């Protein structure tokens, strides 16, 4: 009788097990190759499927390409599985220079930080990629208070605005209310990078952070859709600042230049955004009077030899004549090489965009753009920045649009 009962149980269990494995395979396929809009949902459902879902992921992790074969959605969902080894896999992958999804890994880990991981998060906020630094801040803030404050305070002078805002918000929540001055200043930003409204983005993020600290009612009268100099917003900023100063007491700081709302950069003519999922981001602008502006704001402006910008404009004009209206190349992904060209008499800049996923695409950049890219690299090298700056620019270019001819 016992044997019959056991066989009956196995007969019932086998179809259930087969169904779970089939569902795991279906969800895995969607999470890795489905529409980008539903990959994250499929990855979450796979994580909650239990043993069958974990087994399907484990089989991929044993292959040569390991986590790289999971895709970004399933990679980010790894820590949602009950298998604790997956969390260790994510941490290990953050040390891999080939990993194109390190910001997603840092974000996933920081959502559920472990106290014993504090030192590892502290290392991540020094990362070369600003998105990794930004995501790791939450993990640092969850650690021991004194260590968190010590680690986050230098980030108030980070080169990336989002990193500074997140550090300021976290420090305020740790009782360092003087950091609110950084968020107040970003409410005043109205700067652009060619046609990109960076100031508006900064205002929205700062307002959201202040709302989470002071309460939504405290910022209700401030509108990110209106300019910071509008009558309504000037009054709102004054009221919000008064409340923040009351929290900070006598410790209201003088802001460093990097944190001040940037002014307009006059005469911007040509620029390039280099955003690499492996090498980080580089933003360069050249002005009509031969200056190179590095980064988002106006704190790093360096002189160039006379005629530099004119030569770049000549290369850009030639490229535009050759490629015509074909201004977009590749497929959406984490790698972006984007040129901004504002020719004399133009109200708006012309944008040429190259984009791709983490895989190399050797001929993504059209040949007509090669002289312009090479001239930009040569120009960037002439400003005299050390630490192999010129090589960094060249490597980032080639990681995006492909190798440049000798």
DSSP per residue over 43-92, as a string?
Answer: HHHHHTT-HHHHHHHHHHHTSTTGGGGTHHHHHHGGGGSS-THHHHHHHH
How far is residue 193's CA from residue 282's CA, in Å, rounded to a whole number?
A: 13
* pLDDT tens readout for residues 151-184: 999 999 999 999 999 999 999 999 999 999 999 9
Q: Residue 17: what pLDDT?
A: 56
User: Where in the chain are the domains?
Assistant: 1-93, 108-150, 158-264, 268-401
Q: Is pLDDT above 80 for 37?
A: yes
CATH topology of domain 268-401: Mago nashi protein (3.30.1560)
Residue 269 host element (H or E): strand 268-276
Q: Residue 10: what pLDDT?
A: 40
pTM: 0.89
Q: What distance, in Å, lies between the first and last C-alpha atoms of the chain?
A: 81
* pLDDT tens readout for residues 351-377: 999 999 888 898 899 999 999 999 999
């Amino acid at each position: 009788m016992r044997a019959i009962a056991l066989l009956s149980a196995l007969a019932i269990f086998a179809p259930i097990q087969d169904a779970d494995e089939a569902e795991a395979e279906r969800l895995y396929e969607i999470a890795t190759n489905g529409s980008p809009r539903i990959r994250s949902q499929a990855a979450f459902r796979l994580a909650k499927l239990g043993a069958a879902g974990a087994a399907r992921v484990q089989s991929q992790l044993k292959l040569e390409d390991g986590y790289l074969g999971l895709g970004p959605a399933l990679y980010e969902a790894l820590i949602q599985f009950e298998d604790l080894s997956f969390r260790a896999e994510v941490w290990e992958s953050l040390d891999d220079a080939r990993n194109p999804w390190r910001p997603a890994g840092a974000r996933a880990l920081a959502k559920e930080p472990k106290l014993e991981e504090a030192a590892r998060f502290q290392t991540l906020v020094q990362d070369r990629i600003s998105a990794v630094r930004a995501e790791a801040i939450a993990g640092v803030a969850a650690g021991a208070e004194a260590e968190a404050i010590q680690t986050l305070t230098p980030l108030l002078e980070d080169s990336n605005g989002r990193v500074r805002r997140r550090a300021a918000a976290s420090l305020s929540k740790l009782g360092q209310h003087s950091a609110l001055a950084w968020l107040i200043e970003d409410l005043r930003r109205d700067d652009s990078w060619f046609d990109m409204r960076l100031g508006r983005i900064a205002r929205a993020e700062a307002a959201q952070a202040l709302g989470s600290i002071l309460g939504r009612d405290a910022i209700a009268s401030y509108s990110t859709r209106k300019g910071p100099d509008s009558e309504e917003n000037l009054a709102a900023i004054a009221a919000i600042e008064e409340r923040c100063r009351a929290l900070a007491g006598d410790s209201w700081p003088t802001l460093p230049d990097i944190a001040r709302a940037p002014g307009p950069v006059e005469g911007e003519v040509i620029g390039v955004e280099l955003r690499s999922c492996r090498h980080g981001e580089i933003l360069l602008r050249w002005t009509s009077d031969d200056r190179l502006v590095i980064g988002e704001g106006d704190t790093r402006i360096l002189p160039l030899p006379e005629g530099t910008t004119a030569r770049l404009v000549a290369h850009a004009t030639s490229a535009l004549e050759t490629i015509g209206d074909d201004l977009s190349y590749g497929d959406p992904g984490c790698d972006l090489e984007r040129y901004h060209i504002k020719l004399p008499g133009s109200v708006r800049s012309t944008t040429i965009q190259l984009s791709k996923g983490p895989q190399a695409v050797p001929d993504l950049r059209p040949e007509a753009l090669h002289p312009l890219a090479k001239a930009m690299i040569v120009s960037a090298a002439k400003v005299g920045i050390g630490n192999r700056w010129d090589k960094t620019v060249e490597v980032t270019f080639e990681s995006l649009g492909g190798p440049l001819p000798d």
